[in-house]
Amino acid sequence: MSDTTTHAASGGGSADADLTRLTAVEMTDRLAAGTITSVELTQAHLDRIMRLDPTLHAFLLVDAEGALATAAEVDAARAAGEELPRLAGVPVAVKDIACTQGLATTAGSRMLEGFVPPYDATIVTRLREARMPILGKTNMDEFAMGSSTEHSAFGPTRNPWDLSRIPGGSGGGSSAAVAAYLAPLAIGSDTGGSIRQPAAVTGTVGTKPTYGAVSRYGVIALASSLDQIGPCARTVADAALLHEVIAGHDPMDSTSVDAPVPDVVGASATGDLTGLRVGVVREISGEGFQAGVQARFDEALEQLRALGAEITEVSCPHFGYAMAAYYLILPSEASSNLARYDAMRYGLREVPEGSPSAEQVMGASRDAGFGDEVKRRIILGTYALSSGYYDAYYGQAQKVRTLIARDFAAAFEQVDVLVSPTAPTTAFPIGDKTQDPMAMYLNDIATIPANLAGVPGMSIPSGTADEDGLPAGLQILAPAMQDQRLYAVGAALEARLREVHGGYVIEQAPEIEVEA
C-alpha cells in the first residue's frame, strides 16, 4: 500500500468501530441529521486502513489528503444549507482499474506502475459529483485476469475471514476492504464474475449491472464485450445507492445503453416476493459444488418459498459450454486490447543492451511488464485470432455465446429471475491453485454465463459452510435492463436470512487485530 499523504495511526480498534460498522444507509441518515460529520467518518476509515491494511493489502494506494478534503467540503456545504446528493460524505474505494486524475492507476500491473492518468473515468466523475470521498485504489489481479487477486503484480490481498485464504478475484481488494470495514462501499469490475465471486467468498454483496448500463469510459479494458463496472457493499440497500450513482447513459462510451436507470433503490425497499417466479438453473448447482455451499443454497430456496416465491427448475443446456467459449472470447479480446502496451507511448519500457530495434524494446518491455497469467491469455488469444484458426475457435465461441443468450431468453419466458450458488466453493488457501490454471478458472463457472449474455447478476451472502465456517454466496440473475429485480429479491432474501440465521453475515466475520 502506498499513501499520497501521511496520517496518524489509530491507537486501537475501538475508536473507529462505531462509525465504520454503520451501513451506508445509516451513514447517510446520520450525516443528514448532523450527528456525525464526513470528516469524522472518513478519518475513522482511514485510521482503520492504516491499522489493518498492512496485513490485508486491500489497497494499492490511499489518498487520505484528497478524501479528507472532499469530506471537509461536504461538511461545509451541509453546514451552509446546500442541498446535497444522498451519498455525499460517505467514503468509497475504487478498484485500480478505473482512471483517476492525479492518482496512480496500475490495473495491478508493473506495466502501468507509476502511470498517473490526466482524466477521470466516467464512474469516478460520478462519484465526485455525488460528493463521495475516495479513500483510494484497491488491489486486483493484473488487468483483471484472475479469480483470487494472487495475480496482482504487487502481492495478494487476504480474506478478512481467514488471512490464509483468498478474497476472490479479480476484485479481491474491493471485497476485502468492504468486508473488513475499511470502506462502506467500493467499485468493482466484472468480466466473468469478478464482482460476484469475491462477494461470495467474503460474505458481502456485489452486483454486475446489465452490460452497458454503467459507463466503461476511462476503465482499463480487459475484454470489451464482457467488462462491466458495478457496486460492492455489505447490504443490498447500500449496493442500490451506489448503483444509482454510477449508472446511466454516457455519450463517451459507444456501448452505453441510452435508457432510464431502473429504480434499484426503490426495489430494495419493497420486500414482497409473493408470486415471484424463481428458476433454479439445473446446470449450475448440485454436483461439483462444495457440500456446505450447496446446503446454504438449498436453505435459501426454502426461505424464498416462505417469502411467497414460486420455485421451479429450468434448464439452460448450453451453459455447459460457457467456460470454453469464455476462455476463447476473453483471451482474444484481451490480446487485442493489451497490444497498446508497446513501450512506445506510455507504460514500462525496458531497453536491452546494445542498439535494440523497436521490436526488441517492445518484446523486452512486455516480458518484464506482464505477469504469467497475462502472458498466458495473450498467447491463447493471439492463437485463437490467427489466420486459419479464427473461424474454428473465436468464431465458434461467438456462436456458442448466441446459444447461451437464447437459453437465458427462453428461461426468462418461464421465470422472473434465476438463482444458483455464486461460486462452487468457499475461499481457498492462498497458493492452492496458482499452479493449476484450469482449477482457478472453474471458480467462475456459475458467473460466466451472465457476462456472455450481458444480463445483470448479484451475489448476496447465503450463510457459512459447515466444513470451514467461511461465507458462501447466492447468485440472482435477471433479464437485461431489469436490474431492479435483483435488488427486490436480494433485499427480501437478505432480511429473511439475517432473521433466520441470527445475523450470520458479515458482522460476525472474525475481527482482525494487528499491532498499530
Residues annotated as part of the active site? 95, 170, 194
C-alpha cell at 81: 444549507
**3-class DSSP state of 172:** helix
- Name the maximum alpha-carbon separation found in the chain: 74
Q: What is the dihedral of CA 342, 346, 350, 356, to 10 degrees?
A: 60
Instruction: Determine contact, residues 143/374, Cβ cutoff 8 Å.
Output: yes
Alpha helices (H) along 307-428: 322-337, 358-369, 372-385, 396-414
Instruction: Determine contact, residues 96/157, Cβ cutoff 8 Å.
Output: no
**3-class DSSP state of 137:** strand
Q: Could you write out the three-class secondary structure of 380-403?
A: HHHHHHCCCCCHHHHHHHHHHHHH
- Long-range contacts formed by 293-298: CB under 8 A, 24+ apart: 293/421, 293/423, 293/424, 293/425, 293/426, 293/462, 293/465, 293/472, 294/421, 295/465, 295/466, 296/462, 296/463, 296/464, 296/465, 296/472, 296/474, 297/419, 297/420, 297/421, 297/462, 297/472, 297/474
